[in-house]
Structure formats: structure tokens, C-alpha cells
């Protein structure tokens, strides 16, 4: 009987550990700067969150969603979130270049298809094992 009780306690603990899914709102500008500083973003594509002041666009080139996850084990939530968000921005930059875009506008969080718009912050979901960021944005061109 004691072994069964211990097994149930262990199973409950595992369930609680795996169930963590904390939502954090973090500034996107820090992620952009980190990407530029590390050479992972080249600066040829600018990123604008929904509600942020955006330059007038001359062409709209489509909408995209990027969902990136990272291993959160051994990382604090902010570090893991920023890494996942940077992966999203790297994917957006590559796609923007292919489409001839130089900006991604109206970027907003789209985690599990829930729209969260903020002019400064992106939404990240951190768990004990995985951390994820899903962003949706529109490719556009500014200037000539």
C-alpha cells in the first residue's frame, strides 16, 4: 500500500511539472537587438508589432505565421523566450527577402491561434521542458 501511495505522489509530481505553461510578455526590440548584435539578423528587414508606428508601405506581400520552440531546460524563461522569438524573426527575415519585402508589419502573437496584440511586447509560453513563440505578421515593402 505504501508503494502505491508513493507511486501516486510521484505521478502527481510529474503531471504538475509537465503542466507548466507560463505566458510572458517581453519586449521585441531586445530580441531584434540581440539578433543584430549576434549577426543572426542582418538589419535589411525591419519588424513592427501591431499598434507600433509603422512607415507607409508601398506593397503588401502576404501574411505568414512562424511558430518556433526551444529547449527550456537549464535556461531561465526570459532567455528561452528570447531565443525562440529570435528564431521566429530569423524565419521572417529569410521569407521577407524571398518575397522582396523589407518590413514585417502588424506582428502579433498567435499562440494556439489566440491573437494578442501589443505595440512593444511579444507573448511567449514557457514550460519546464519547452518554450514557444508563435507570431503572425504581414510582409510589406517601404520605399521604392
- Condensed to tens digits (0 to 9), the pLDDT of residues 93-129 reads 999 999 999 999 999 999 999 999 999 999 999 999 9
What SS3 state is found at 26? strand
Whether the per-residue pLDDT at 66 is higher than 80: the answer is: yes
> N- to C-terminal Cα distance for the chain?
76
> What is the mean predicted confidence (pLDDT) over 23-42?
98
Give the residue extent of every domain in the chain. 21-141
Distance between CA 104 and CA 41 in Å, rounded? 13
- 21-141, which class in CATH? alpha beta
- Round the average pLDDT of the chain to a whole number and report it: 90
* CA torsion through residues 88, 90, 93, 94, sign: negative
Amino acid at each position: 500500500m505504501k508503494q502505491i501511495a508513493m507511486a501516486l505522489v510521484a505521478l502527481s509530481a510529474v503531471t504538475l511539472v509537465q503542466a507548466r505553461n507560463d505566458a510572458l510578455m517581453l519586449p521585441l526590440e531586445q530580441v531584434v537587438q540581440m539578433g543584430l548584435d549576434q549577426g543572426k539578423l542582418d538589419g535589411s528587414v525591419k519588424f513592427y508589432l501591431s499598434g507600433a508606428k509603422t512607415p507607409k508601405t508601398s506593397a503588401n506581400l502576404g501574411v505568414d505565421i512562424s511558430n518556433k520552440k526551444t529547449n527550456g531546460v537549464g535556461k531561465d524563461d526570459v532567455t528561452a523566450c528570447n531565443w525562440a522569438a529570435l528564431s521566429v524573426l530569423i524565419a521572417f527575415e529569410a521569407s521577407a527577402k524571398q518575397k522582396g519585402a523589407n518590413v514585417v508589419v502588424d506582428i502579433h502573437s498567435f499562440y494556439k491561434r489566440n491573437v494578442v496584440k501589443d505595440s512593444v511586447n511579444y507573448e511567449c509560453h514557457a514550460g519546464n521542458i519547452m518554450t514557444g513563440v508563435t507570431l503572425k505578421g504581414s510582409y510589406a515593402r517601404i520605399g521604392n
